[in-house]
């Protein structure tokens, strides 16, 4: 079971597109690190930096719901193997380098034929047996308080539950359509950005989902 961890530290100003606040350098992806509380190595994955961009942009559009000094670390995937963590990290660095040049980008495009074709994903049994756990650790610089939020999904979070997420967020937004959904111009909201924890709390009432919040 893969577990995804995102660290958010309330330290510096956050800059996004159309944001008047000064730029602050966000934490770099870095090398694999040993995380004692999970007894695993954390490494960046394919969507690690994209996750941070989404959170940063949503925070700006919501007029800094997550704070004006949020400093967000890239999402890290946890694995028990030191060598596997470094292997994935080096592969990500190589992929990033190859994408910088048109010739190598074309070669990467030719590799699509080796990918799984549409309609040939996991079986129903595999989707039912899959599990995913997402954890967010938030630390306050002023109070030194730290909180961990865990969201455990039983069943494939992508193939099996995507339709549930879309429907529930759609119902939430329809119910809130009379409210002021935008405080800044530009960009677009993500469903999770609008719903915040409302939909997650609703899902936590079902057996396939478990939401846990605890102080560290």
pLDDT, tens only, 5-55: 544 443 333 445 455 554 566 777 788 989 888 889 998 887 787 778 777
Give the β-pairing of 3-10 and 131-140. Answer: parallel
Across the strands, what pairs with 72?
Answer: 8
Q: Residue 101 — φ and ψ, nearest 5°? A: -120, 140
Q: Which of 138, 111, 132, 116 is nearest to 197 (CA)?
A: 138
pLDDT at residue 11 in the model: 35
Residue 88 has pLDDT above 60, yes or no: yes
Specify the pTM. 0.70
On the 0-12 / 13-18 / 19+ scale of CB atoms within 10 A, 4 is buried
Report the chain's terminal Cα–Cα distance, integer Å.
23
Is residue 214 within 8 A of residue 204, CB to CB? The reply is no
82-98 and 102-110 helices cross at what angle (nearest 10)? 120
pLDDT, tens only, 111-152: 777 777 777 778 888 888 888 888 888 888 778 788 998 888
- Predicted confidence band at 83 (pLDDT cuts at 50, 70, 90)? very high
Q: How far apart are CA 4 and CA 199, in angstroms?
A: 19
Residue 86 has pLDDT above 90, yes or no: yes
- Higher pLDDT among residues 155 and 65, named by residue: 155
């Amino acid at each position: 079971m893969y577990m995804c961890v995102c660290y958010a530290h309330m330290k510096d100003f956050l800059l996004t597109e159309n944001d008047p606040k000064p730029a602050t350098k966000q934490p770099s992806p870095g090398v694999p690190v040993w995380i004692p509380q999970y007894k695993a190595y954390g490494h960046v994955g394919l969507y690690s930096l994209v996750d941070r961009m989404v959170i940063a942009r949503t925070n700006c559009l919501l007029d800094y719901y997550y704070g004006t000094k949020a400093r967000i670390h890239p999402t890290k995937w946890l694995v028990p193997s030191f060598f596997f963590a470094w292997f994935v990290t080096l592969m990500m660095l190589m992929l990033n380098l190859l994408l910088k040049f048109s010739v190598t980008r074309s070669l990467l495009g030719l590799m699509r034929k080796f990918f799984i074709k549409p309609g040939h994903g996991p079986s129903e049994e595999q989707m039912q047996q899959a599990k995913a756990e997402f954890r967010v650790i938030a630390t306050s610089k002023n109070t030194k308080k730290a909180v961990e939020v865990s969201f455990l999904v039983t069943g494939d979070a992508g193939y099996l539950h995507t339709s549930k997420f879309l429907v529930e967020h759609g119902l939430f937004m329809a119910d809130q359509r009379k409210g002021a959904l935008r405080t800044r111009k530009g960009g677009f909201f993500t469903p999770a950005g609008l719903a915040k924890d409302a939909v997650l709390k609703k899902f936590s009432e079902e057996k396939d989902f478990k939401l846990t919040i605890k102080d560290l």
